Amino acid sequence: MLALQEYIDSDEEEVKTGESQGKPEFSVKNSLQICAAPLVLPTGSEECIKHIDPTAKEVSFNPKFEELFSPMVGPENPFKTQQQQSSRNMLSGYVEPAYVSEFQFENQRRTFNSFGYALDPTVGSEGDGTKIITTTGQSDEINTDAKTVFESTKLRPLDKRKRKKNNDPSDIEGFLGPWGGFIDEQRVMKPSEEEAAELEELASKKNKKGKPIEEKPIEEKSILHISDSVDYQGRSFLHAPQDVGVNLKSDTPPERCFLPKAHIHTWSGHSKGIAAIRWFPRTAHLLLSASMDCRIKLWEVYNERRCVRTYYGHKQAVRDICFNNSGKLFLSAAYDRYIKLWDTETGQVVKRFSSRKIPYCIKFNPDKNKQHLFVAGTSDKKIICWDTRSGDIVQEYDRHLGAVNSITFVDDNRRFVTTSDDKSLRVWEWDIPVDMKYIADPTMHSMPAVTPAPNGKWLACQSMDNKIVIFSALNRFKINRKKTFTGHMVAGYACSLDFSPDLSYLVSGDADGKCYIWDWKTTKLYKKWKAHDNVCISVLWHPHEPSKLTELEGTAHLLDELDKKLMVLLRDGRTLIGYLRSVDQFANLVLHRTIERIHVGKEYGDIPRGVFIVRGENVVLLGEIDAEKEAELPLTEVSVDEILDAQRQEQESKQEQQKLVSKALKERGLHLMPDLTHDDMF
């Protein structure tokens, strides 16, 4: 205790050196003190060990070795062995983390499972990692050469063969490198006599099952069925008639189209089903049909509606046909793998094309500067472009994953759209064999028939889920979810479809032989009727007639509403002239483009009335107008004002004459009965 009183800090000693000189020195030894604590001598170790909690995660001081490995503080269980008392972090002991190669670990584990031995993984064991441990214990007698599963244990007999060597890089033709073959290697193995006999027997059976190939080429010819192939001016049947009451050379569609009501004509001539029909370009006064009986026929649409010419040149069913822009040439594609170019007027085959695959669809390039090029979709997932001048293939498009079913040109013929059995729609730039747009959706089905709208803005696609889906034909080519036409059943057939010329109706056939007409704006089903006994595979709307359709199955039908120009005489004396659009069960008439004709002497004038509804009981006389006879009548057409003035003067003269007659009758005591016809509602 006395020693502690004398202990001071070194800094304090320096500070107090100056003060100690002026003060008298004080010593504890010189003072008298009494210490009550007895002097105790320690008997144990003087070193104090600080115990560490084994559950602590941190140590705030630097412990010594004895402190780290000292036993735990607390009572000791005398019944535990030394191994049980040792610290451990798992049930069987204490495991320290260590790095082991995953490949070497799997190598030794698989070797132990397969062969029953592996390298001893014990750390610090004898042998420096070469000692072997087995399932029964350690053993040094096992051969350690190539002992793992990843090392070869046996040499194959052929591994001892020598290879041909020539590693000289200067020898360009004879350099072998690692690709040199074996010295005694046999490249061609000849079958034994028994194997050769077996192969010959299999080949003979295969030839018997296969259909024999006809090597003899078919005769290409055509038959003209009409005697007046040229008219009095020397014009052929390709020239459009001008005496049918319709301007077939007009580029403008009808103002308004109507639903067909009556069956006009049936063309019969094919012995099997018809696969495709096409209008003659622009005028549509001729109809071309391709049939399963390997024949192609050309029909008249107006006048006598005769079969003009039959074309023979295919050995199997004709799949598709296509006119060029002028109609002087057309293409035909058949299942005999041939595409043939025909002269429409003479019936001669101009050229033949074949890629040894079945062509499913063909289409001329509509551009007037590319009429010598056409594309064909084949069964080997390709779209091939041919040049009709040279007969060579100039381009191939091979991005589809299934047979190509349809080809449709859009965007002013700069692009074309194709559909395939792979349930996709692809858009191509002309002469670029990479698709610019790929449309495929899990909900989409195959679309074997596609038709563009008359305005070029939409594509109508016949989907195999009994729906007609609409795609935009502009830049995006996006499906229009709001326009989906349903109600028919195609049952897997590629039923083609068509638009009315004024884009007001959409028409399609179905598998039951019915024809369906929908409203384009509302997608409402307007009409359906039984057109054929079997599937109605194609329907075309006449481009110049407001309500004429052509359908086909085995025969072709022409349907028409009674839209003829009629003259109707009413009970009140008025005369109406217009196109009859509808007749109901009460004989009520709906006239379109109606005019009221007023006759005064040998002069007449026409007053436009638009759409006019006439009650059936008011009709006195009804008849069709003959344009030729009407032109021969000695009548003069005047303006509306002139004819109304003449009619008023005529009525005034009649009234003056009627007054004189009435006055004379009254003088004699007679009275006239009033005319009640003018009081009716018309």
> What pLDDT shows up at residue 223?
94
Does residue 638 form part of some domain? yes
Containing structural domain, residue 555: 221-231+258-560
Distance, CA of 639 to CA of 81 (rounded, Å)? 133
pLDDT in tens, 333-388: 999 999 999 999 999 999 999 999 999 999 999 999 999 999 999 999 999 999 99
Residue 432 covered by a domain:
yes
Are residue 400 and residue 283 in the same domain, yes or no? Answer: yes
User: Does 347 reside within a domain?
Assistant: yes
Domain boundary among 501, 525, 560: 560
Instruction: Give the other-Cβ count within 10 Å of 270's Cβ.
Output: 23
Q: Quick one: 604 and 474 in the same domain?
A: no
Residue 556 inside a domain? The answer is: yes
**Looking at residue 627, what is its pLDDT?**
65
Q: Are residues 626 and 538 in the same domain?
A: no
State whether 639 and 653 are in the same domain.
yes
Same domain? For 598 and 661 the reply is yes
Q: pLDDT band at residue 458, thresholds of 50, 70 and 90?
A: very high
Any domain includes 236: no
C-alpha 257/C-alpha 247 separation (Å) is 16
Place of tokens 């799949």: 319
Which residue matches tokens 């290697």? Answer: 185
Q: What percent of the chain has pLDDT over 70?
A: 84
What letter would DSSP give residue 412?
T
**pLDDT band, residue 146 (cuts 50/70/90):** very low
Per-residue pLDDT reduced to its tens digit, 19-31: 445 454 545 555 5
Domain end call among 511, 543, 560: 560
**Same-domain check for residues 548 and 610:** no
Distance CA 226, CA 230 (A): 10
* Domain co-membership, 287 together with 382: yes
Looking at the structure, do residues 651 and 514 belong to the same domain, yes or no? Answer: no
Task: Assign residue 604 the CATH number of its domain.
Answer: 2.30.30.100
Query: Which residue bears the tokens 């889920």?
Result: 465
pLDDT of residue 542: 92
Q: How many residues does the chain have?
A: 682
Instruction: Summarize the confidence of residues 459-474 as an average pLDDT.
Output: 95
Residue 100 lies in a domain: no
Token duo for residue 59 = 């140590």
Same-domain status, 410 and 519: yes
Tell whether 419 and 553 lie within a shared domain: yes
Domain containing residue 267: CATH number: 2.130.10.10
Q: Determine, yes or no, domain membership for 73.
A: no
Give yes or no for a contact between 302 and 285, defined as CB atoms under 8 angstroms apart: yes
12 or 597: which carries more pLDDT confidence? 597
Number of folded domains that form the chain = 2
Q: Is the dihedral of CA 290, 294, 300, 305 positive or negative?
A: negative
Better-scored residue on pLDDT, 378 or 612: 378
Residue 614 φ then ψ, to 5°: -115, 130
Residue 657's identity, in one-letter code, is Q
Q: How far apart are CA 241 and CA 304, in angstroms?
A: 12
- Could you tell me if residue 174 is inside a domain? no
What does the pLDDT average to over 256-277? 90
Same domain, 540 and 597: no
In tens, the pLDDT along 403-430 reads 999 999 999 999 999 999 999 999 999 9
Which residue among 515, 537, 560 closes a domain? 560
281 with 412, same domain: the answer is: yes
Confidence band (pLDDT; 50, 70, 90) for 1?
Answer: very low
Across the range 220-231, mean pLDDT stands at 91
Q: Are 475 and 450 within 8 A, CB to CB?
A: no
Q: What is the pLDDT of residue 461?
A: 97
Flag whether pLDDT at 622 surpasses 60. Answer: yes
